[in-house]
Amino acid sequence: MHPTFRWCSMREDESETVAAIYKLKQDIHSLSEQQAEARKTATFVGMTSDEVIEYDKRREKIAEMIRQLTFLQSTFLQKTQ
């Protein structure tokens, strides 16, 4: 493979990784805001059993996204060093 083509392919892979990292960060932020709002509401009104289930699902989703984000960031850093 020609060195220039290899460099372009690597840059495209890096761009996709950066885009995935950015998207995960946005999604984590959005879900975290929903969690904060749910906690605030629960403080005054409480939560129904369905709301508790949704809260727990969001918490699990956030944890999974953080694991994915950590992996992508570490992979990206290794590639760029």
Q: Residue 11 — very low, low, confident or very high, per pLDDT cuts 50/70/90?
A: low
Q: What is the pLDDT of residues 15-64, one digit of tens each?
A: 888 899 999 999 999 999 999 999 999 999 999 999 999 999 999 999 99
**How far apart are the C-alpha atoms of 51 and 55, rounded to whole Å?**
6
Strands (DSSP E) contained in the chain are none
Helix and strand tally (H, E) in the chain? Answer: 2, 0
Residue 39 or residue 9, greater confidence: 39
Write down the H helix ranges in 1-81.
3-44, 49-80
**How far apart are the C-alpha atoms of 13 and 21, rounded to whole Å?**
12
Mark residue 46 as left, alpha or beta (left: phi above 0; alpha: psi -120 to 50; beta: remaining): left
**How far apart are the C-alpha atoms of 79 and 63, rounded to whole Å?**
24
